[in-house]
Amino acid sequence: MFGRLLLLFLIVPLVDLALLVTVGERIGLLPTVGIVVLTAVVGSWLARREGTAAWRRVQQKLATGGVPGPELIDGVVILVAGTLLLTPGFLTDVAGLLGLFPPTRAIARRSIKKRFERAVRSGSVRVVAGGPTGTPFGPFGAARPPVVEDAEVIDDGSGTPTEADSPTR
């Protein structure tokens, strides 16, 4: 995984740089910079529009008691696509635009879902439930003390009460 990411972070910028130089040689510096700025502006507008729509779908799903799995994946894809569009380069712009269009986003969603399911089945990702039907620890808290339903206080009469025995400590 680390090797793939390292390769990705080395190769993609180099390819983008080569494309920028090639396009710059063919159409000139100012038109090339203009295209890069235009894709960043249009891309950020599209990312904001699509991101807001995805957030609305997440809220609607939660309001009806559903689990917003596909909607959350869409939100992540839109976030990554918007980031790619803000990165200067033609390769990242194409990848970002593909992530913003609903048909290609659906393909990405299915691919991400399959990879996640495979990771859960293989045991490399562990899913833990929390809340009322989950563990006693809850999603973020410590263990709850046991509930005493029926108890009887026994005073054996030995000793004098100390500060530690005080009920108001």
Q: What is the mean pLDDT of the segment spanning 31-53?
A: 90
Q: DSSP label at 164?
A: G
> 37 falls in which pLDDT band (50, 70, 90)?
very high
Amino acid at 21: V
Question: Contact at 8 Å (CB) between 96 and 82?
Answer: yes
> 20 falls in which pLDDT band (50, 70, 90)?
very high
Cβ-count burial of 155 within 10 angstroms (0-12 exposed, 13-18 middle, 19+ buried)? exposed
As a whole number of angstroms, the distance between CA 121 and CA 117 comes to 6
Q: In which residue are the tokens 């038109």 written?
A: 31
- State pTM to two decimals: 0.66
**65 φ/ψ angles, rounded to the nearest 5 degrees:** 85, 10
Amino acid at 81: A
> 64 falls in which pLDDT band (50, 70, 90)?
confident
Question: Contact at 8 Å (CB) between 86 and 40?
Answer: yes
Instruction: State yes or no: pLDDT of 29 exceeds 90.
Output: yes
145-164: pLDDT as tens digits:
666 677 676 777 776 767 77
74-103: pLDDT as tens digits:
989 999 998 898 888 999 999 999 998 889
| Residue 87: predicted pLDDT | 87
Pair of tokens at residue 27: 């159409």
Helix axes 29-63, 2-27, angle to 10 degrees: 140
Q: In which residue are the tokens 């596909």 written?
A: 70
